[in-house]
Amino acid sequence: MSEGFSAEEKAAMKEAAAEKRRAAKRAKSADKAAADLQDLMDKIEAMGESDRALALTVHELIMSAAPQLAPRTWYGMPAYSADGKVVCFFQESGKFKSRYSTLGFQDPARLDDGTMWPTSFAITAIGPREEQAIRDLVKQAVGE
């Protein structure tokens, strides 16, 4: 039986609370998008070398496939939103001490395929096949 939240889960919740405070302060700011992007890039820069390389590639792929998505952070992870709702996110392997990083999709993503479909994907390396798969998933997620 669980003894409560792990240290990593508590840290993610604290990051989410800080993100909400920053978002409230930035709501009427002309440079909100630039500040949100900088927060995302700072998170990527703070990652370990292999996670950072994956996150940068995922960031570039998402922004090229769906430039209408707004980069931001979400629970301390790089995320991409539409109409204020997170569509997809990148979770570094180090965040919860996992053996792989994750590209995840939230409810606004249009990945529906019948009555059951995947909403997260493990990533350990990105080659041409994975690049195309990520582009395709992101385009589908935003309805293209």
Tens-digit pLDDT profile for residues 72-108: 999 999 999 999 999 999 999 998 889 999 999 999 9
Contact in structure between 87 and 108 (CB atoms under 8 Å): yes
Tens-digit pLDDT profile for residues 111-122: 999 999 999 999
pLDDT at 29 over 70: no
User: pTM here?
Assistant: 0.83
Domains of the chain: 7-141 (3.90.1150)
